[in-house]
Structure 1
Amino acid sequence: MKKHWLTTNHQHYWVDKTANVLNKVQKSVQPRMKETLRDIWMAET
């Protein structure tokens, strides 16, 4: 149970961090930046 909670917490952190970053850039840049941030988050290392 605790392991599942830690994963959920980590995912929540990345959602908040991504939203904060996207709010600071122009709307025209947001789709590509969101894709790039997702690639970073999903990277194995």
Structure 2
Amino acid sequence: MIKHWAMKCHHRFWVHKTANVSNKVLKAVQPKMKEALHDI
């Protein structure tokens, strides 16, 4: 149960981090930026 929660929390962190970074770049750059973040 704790391991599942930790994984969910980690995933949630990356979802919000991606959204926050995405909001700071130009709309034209967002798809490439999103791909680059997924590579990390």
TM tier relative to shorter chain: over 0.9
Unaligned runs of 5+ in 1: 41-45
**1:38 match:** 38
Give the TM-score taking structure 2 as reference length.
0.97
RMSD: 0.3
Structure with greater proportional helix content: 2
Structure 2: runs of 5 or more not aligned: none
Structure 1: distance between partners of 2:39 and 2:11: 14
What TM-score does the superposition give when structure 1 sets the normalisation length? 0.87
1:23 corresponds to which residue? Answer: 23
Q: CA deviation at 1:17?
A: 0.3
Q: 1:26 is matched by which residue type in structure 2?
A: L
Q: Among all aligned residue pairs of Structure 1 and Structure 2, give the percentage whose two residues are the same amino acid.
A: 62
C-alpha distance after superposition, 1:1-23 (max 9, x if no partner)? 10000000000000000000000
Once the 2 structures are TM-superposed, how far is the Cα of residue 26 of structure 1 from its aligned partner? 0.2
Equivalences, count: 40
